[in-house]
Amino acid sequence: MSKRILIAEDDAAIARLIAMNLKAAGMESVLFPDGEAAALSLPADHRYDLAILDIMMPKKDGFALFQDINPYGIPVIFLTAKDDLDSKITGLQDGAEDYIVKPFEMLELLVRMEKIMSRTQKPADTLTVCGLSVRLDEHRVLRGEQEIPLKPMEFELLVTLAKHKNTAISREDLLVLVWGVNYLGETRTVDVHIGQLRKKLGLQKQIVTVPKIGYRLEDETRPEDVP
């Protein structure tokens, strides 16, 4: 089942931007143009995995909306242009999971969302992508019933690409996300591992090289296709 994200943001451009990226990552988003509309919809429907709130919104601001969302146990990220210390402290002390200041990097938002959801929910045991089933707890990759042996770093790289499927990730970001360190200038390592993954899993077409950026794992299974 795909993740459902509440987005309360008065700027339609930003709201649609987040929604587009979440859709590409296989998540479903519900948009509200102001705090009041979001608060009013909650009693009827609060099956969200995460809420992204702007602070400066008409009718009801993000802090007030947070008080309405909190009782439902939905983790909250504040995404706002207010980058004064007071607002950050207020936001985080109230119990928000994170506080991101605009302008923000979409990948950063996605990674933070993923971290929060993996902390607040039971992580999925298995990722299904391009006909592969990636068993996270067992560290195994299966195509149908047949296991494909992967080295540890190749496995981690596959998991990272699968989590951010349909989104290109730069070699530098992959180094940080998979190897966990800044391997400055060692982006060749990524290319070698990508080559291995393509060969071992037969994903020559699905793992796309995006010029000047990095790699993208394309999976045509859209969220709406997921039963």
Contact of 201 with 1, CB cutoff 8 Å: no
Among 158, 167, 160, 162, residue whose Cα is nearest residue 21? 167
Task: Using the minimum distance from each CB to other proteins, give the nearer residue, 3 or 155.
Answer: 3
* Rounded least distance, CB 96 to other proteins, Å: 19
* Rounded least distance, CB 36 to other proteins, Å: 12
Task: Using the minimum distance from each CB to other proteins, give the nearer residue, 45 or 83.
Answer: 83
* Rounded least distance, CB 21 to other proteins, Å: 6
Strands 169-170 and 146-148: unpaired
Task: Give the span between the Cα atoms of 115 and 95, in whole angstroms.
Answer: 16
Task: Using the minimum distance from each CB to other proteins, give the nearer residue, 103 or 152.
Answer: 103
Task: Using the minimum distance from each CB to other proteins, give the nearer residue, 29 or 166.
Answer: 166
What is residue 15's three-state secondary structure? helix
Give the footprint of other proteins on this chain (CB under 8 A).
Answer: 10-14, 16-17, 20-21, 23-24, 33-34, 56, 58, 81-82, 84, 102-107, 166-169, 208, 210, 213, 216, 218
* Rounded least distance, CB 145 to other proteins, Å: 30
* Rounded least distance, CB 65 to other proteins, Å: 15
Task: Using the minimum distance from each CB to other proteins, give the nearer residue, 113 or 150.
Answer: 113
The type of residue at 6 is: L
Beta bridge partners, 29, equal: 5
CA 139 to chain centre: 21
Task: Using the minimum distance from each CB to other proteins, give the nearer residue, 150 or 217.
Answer: 217
Among 68, 65, 45, 52, residue whose Cα is nearest residue 11? 52
* Rounded least distance, CB 15 to other proteins, Å: 10
Handedness of CA 157, 158, 159, 162 (dihedral sign): positive
For residue 135, give Cα distances in angstroms to 21, 129, 139.
25, 11, 6
